[in-house]
Amino acid sequence: MFIHMKELQFRAKPEKPDPVYARKLQEVLGGQYGEMSVMMQYLFQGFNCRADRKYRDMLLDIGTEEIGHVEMLSTMIAQLLDGAPADQVDEAAKDPMIAAALGGMNPQHAIVSGLGATPTDSNGYPWNSKYIIASGNLLADFRANLNAESQGLLQVVRLYEQTTDPGVRDMLSFMIARDIMHQNQWLAAIEEIEAIEGPIAPASFPRERSVEEVTRQFMNFSVGEESSAGRWANGTLPDGTGDFEYVANPTAYGDAPVLNPPAKHQHSTLGTGPYVVNEGFEK
> Which parts of 176-195 interact with a copy of itself (CB under 8 A)?
176-178, 180-181, 183-189, 191-193
The answer to whether 216 contacts a copy of itself (rule: CB under 8 A) is yes
From candidates 22, 35, 80, 119, binder to a copy of itself by CB under 8 A: 119
Amino acid sitting at position 50: R
Write down the least CB distance from residue 147 to a copy of itself, Å.
4
The answer to whether 167 contacts a copy of itself (rule: CB under 8 A) is no
Alpha-carbon distance of 154 to 176, in angstroms, equals 9
The answer to whether 16 contacts a copy of itself (rule: CB under 8 A) is no
DSSP state of 31: S
Positions 122 through 161 that interact with a copy of itself (CB under 8 A):
122-140, 143-144, 146-147, 150-151, 153-155, 157-161
Write down the least CB distance from residue 38 to a copy of itself, Å.
13
Positions 33 through 92 that interact with a copy of itself (CB under 8 A):
33, 36, 40, 43-44, 47-58, 60-65, 67-68, 70-72, 74-75, 78-79, 82-84, 86-90
In our burial notation (b when 16+ CB lie closer than 10 A, e otherwise), range 158-181 reads ebbeebebebbbebbeebbebbee
Q: Provide CB contacts within 8 A for 7, sequence distance 6+.
A: none
Q: Provide CB contacts within 8 A for 150, sequence distance 6+.
A: 183
CB 18 within 8 A of CB 80: yes
From candidates 22, 38, 80, 115, binder to a copy of itself by CB under 8 A: 115
Ordered DSSP codes for 180-214? HHHHHHHHHHHHHHHHHH-SSSS--S-GGGS-GGG
Torsions phi, psi of 180, nearest 5? -65, -45
Write down the least CB distance from residue 122 to a copy of itself, Å.
4
Positions 243 through 262 that interact with a copy of itself (CB under 8 A):
244, 250, 252-262
